[in-house]
Amino acid sequence: MAPPRQTREVVVTGIGAVTPLGLGAATLHDRWAAGELGIVDGLAPCSAFDASEHLSLKESRRLDRFSQLAVVAADEAIAQAGWTGALPYDPTRVGCVIATGIGGQTTIESQVILMHERGERAVSPLGIPLYMPNAAAAAITIRHSLRGPSFGVVSACTSGAHAIGSAMRMIQYGDADAVVCGGAEASLTRFGIACFRSMQALSESGVSRPFDLRRDGFVMGEGAGVLVLEEREAARERGAEVLAELAGYGSTTDAHHITAPEPSGGPAARAIELALRDAGAAPEEVDYVNAHGTSTPLNDAAETAALKLALGEHARRVPISSTKSAIGHTLGAAGAVEAVATVRTLMTGVIAPTLGLEVPDPELDLDYVPGEARPLPPANGHRPLALSNSFAFGGHNVVLAIRRAAE
Amino acid sequence: MSVTTEQVESRVIETLASFGPDRSQITREATFEELDIDSLDLVELAQVVEDEYGVVLKGEDMKELRTVGDAIDLIVARAG
């Protein structure tokens, strides 16, 4: 391995989320910790989200639903960072990386139907600006006048985590002093659901119960998660409140199968090891793992294997829980939504449980926090550290290491 | 089929209002700039006009348009 670079450090100063549990980062974690579910009839839509409460008619008809969710989550994160009204940095030093697994699914579907019904000339000139996967990133840059590097990221269910990792590197390398980053997905359409159902990825029972013996697939969700990242010294100089430190990022690939995870968990374990090394942390320092935990038979087994490989004996001691047990799988948003939930876990000291986990799988023998929320265990000699895992169709693996902010 | 200026005016105002600006601000004298109506909006307006009146408005036609009245007059002239 190459020696670690001396790099600038990255802190989180704002978080925002729109999820099946409602609006807001705190809402997501509080309701999940209280055992509430955002899943209804086997799907997890953002039912509380009403675009007209946040966006003008002009704004909302220029944005596909995935971008609308991203813009509202970004507004929350940016307000929390204290940026509302005026950017604290030269705009050319502020970037924006917003991921999605698919892009504007609702737009693609409605425009294709329109084309079949009324011909090519009926297709909307807004089609491309609505459905392009970089539309959410572009919308946020326009709304907040961010003029540093910006783009979308696409890697299925690791998209959101890749966006955060890319943003972190952008700050560390010096290409930006702050980056608005995250992910968004809104593909609960007839075609979107049919495609996932056809490949038998979705739960037949309509229940998300990661790590349970009866798990039978994931529940499709939608949502957005956004974080404001800043270079530590710049954040300190402007007196920003630091919510957490983004301490490490690890990214690998299975190169095994287009949808099935590599069963040994080796490449995923390597991503965990890289994230810990990037954070300068030992496996024993991990106090909580926010699992990818999709509730599919293969993922939950491979993830368990990966945790054992990477953390050794400590894997049996560390509490592990899955946000997807409460809100289903938000696909390209998941990595970002779950990073937001992980930041809230470190801020509140409350580990939300893996909901629906009632019948243990004898093959999966780690502590998946069934039942009730519990306090974060006391950290001995280090600031609490959490991992947020994301694994994707395509074999992409991303792990973020997040540390509680210094007192 | 001939169309009246009133018919075109009413259809254009209704369409522009669906793009976002407040209906009360959409007068013949109002400029597209004031109404925050941009090139993408005008292409959408052209689609409606083509559907309704069979009048094809190209990019170069639209470039010259400054006010709502300009658009109405052009459509009426072409439809006639």
Q: How many domains are contained in chain B?
A: 1
Architecture of domain A10-237: 3-Layer(aba) Sandwich (3.40)
Collapse the DSSP code of A307 into the 3-class scheme (helix H, G, I; strand E, B; otherwise coil) and give the result.
helix
| Alpha-carbon span A117 to A146, nearest angstrom | 40
Which pLDDT tens digit goes with each residue over A65-91? Answer: 999 999 999 999 999 999 988 999 999
- Look at the block and give the residue holding tokens 């959408």: B44
Q: How far is CA B17 from CA A154, A188, B27, B61, in A?
A: 36, 29, 11, 21
pLDDT of residue B63: 86
CB A156 within 8 A of CB A331: yes
Task: Extract the tokens encoding A40.
Answer: 């209804």
pLDDT of residue A75: 98
Name the β-bridge partners of A178.
Answer: A94, A230
* pLDDT bracket for residue A6 (50, 70, 90): low
Print the domain residue range for B47. 5-79
First to last CA, chain B: 8
Find which of B25, B32, B34, B47 to mutate to test the A interface (most A CBs within 10 Å of its CB).
B47
Please tell me which residue of chain B has the smallest CA distance to A62.
B19
Mean pLDDT of A354-373: 97
Task: Extract the tokens encoding A279.
Answer: 């954070």
H helix or E strand, kind and range, residue A74:
helix A65-80
* pLDDT bracket for residue B1 (50, 70, 90): low
Architecture of domain A247-404: 3-Layer(aba) Sandwich (3.40)
CATH number for the domain that contains residue B24: 1.10.1200.10
Q: What percent of chain B has pLDDT over 90?
A: 85
Same fold, A10-237 and A247-404: yes
8 Å CB contact of B44 and A129 = no
* pLDDT bracket for residue A380 (50, 70, 90): confident
Q: How far is CA A98 from CA A82, A132, B22, in A?
A: 20, 12, 32
Among A369, A54, A107, CA closest to A212: A369
| Alpha-carbon span A261 to A280, nearest angstrom | 27
Query: For residue A50, what are the contacts with CB-CB under 8 A and spacing of at least 6?
Result: none
Residues in chain B closer than 8 A to A125 (CB atoms): 40, 43-44, 47
| Alpha-carbon span A167 to A164, nearest angstrom | 5
8 Å CB contact of A129 and B40 = yes
Q: Which residues of B39-61 are buried (b: 16+ CB within 10 A; e: fewer)?
A: eebbebbbbebeebbebebeeeb
Which pLDDT tens digit goes with each residue over B27-59? Answer: 999 999 999 999 999 999 999 999 999 999 988
**How far does the CA of residue B19 sit from the closest CA of chain A (Å)?**
6
Mean pLDDT of A331-350: 98
Among the residues of A45-201, which ranges form H helices? 57-61, 65-80, 105-118, 127-131, 135-144, 159-173, 190-198
Mean pLDDT of B14-30: 96
Query: For residue B7, what are the contacts with CB-CB under 8 A and spacing of at least 6?
Result: none
| Structural domain boundaries in chain A | 10-237, 247-404
Residues in chain B closer than 8 A to A122 (CB atoms): 47, 51
Among the residues of A293-333, which ranges form H helices? 297-311, 324-327
